[in-house]
Structure 1
């Protein structure tokens, strides 16, 4: 893939500009695309003592993002953010894996929010997941609040025919 140069005033977050920059990609190189589906997972595991003040079962969250059929694992932790490509898997088995481990998982369609600056927030798993989903909710601060917000308005009904 070629690096994007900002000669035309393109924003690095603009996938159309990135796709134009990679339009002349060589064999085996593909265009960059935004995620079309996400699984947001909520866990009760608390490795840090101060996380134990959060609601049991909702002490950490992370996301899996699907783009072109491939899943990216995105886990923002307090000491670093882990990312990795886990491959192409059907949605329902992924949901079952997390639920079998006592976690809650919601299926969500990520958005591209308007280009409005968001307020500065501490780097938390909730803030990182909100940003990657395009969710602009300044008062959603804990994993429990994020779960309620997503379950109420943005979760996708799980059926056997998820694309």
Structure 2
């Protein structure tokens, strides 16, 4: 952790230390302020909240929105729930893994894009769906996905 991140963590630990049920709000605050909850922060969090490191890591790993590494510049969240699976999201996932050279939860080599599976974007009637930097794309076909990725590459932003 950088010195600035350590200072932010210290301030947040002080702020949340006496709050009942502080773990989730504290983890959200850390991620909002720093961008992720690093493994280096876990011992201090556990000590401050009088919990074990296993409890803290368990919560971080249970909720898919918490990250332990800095985020990529762009996030692609592909729905893998039943409705999207039935409409071809698994083929889209395979296409993404091949085209980007990453596995689920992976970052491209240049750090520009991360692939994150999610289990419902609330667009079941428009399956398969994905979110790119928070923008929903519905009824995604392999061709639409290729065009979307190409536009990201050309523009440098999604």
Is the pair's TM-score, using the shorter chain for normalization, greater than 0.5?
A: no
The structure carrying a bigger helix percent of its residues is 2
The structure carrying a bigger strand percent of its residues is 1
TM interval, shorter chain, is 0.3 to 0.5
Normalising to structure 2: TM-score of the pair?
0.33
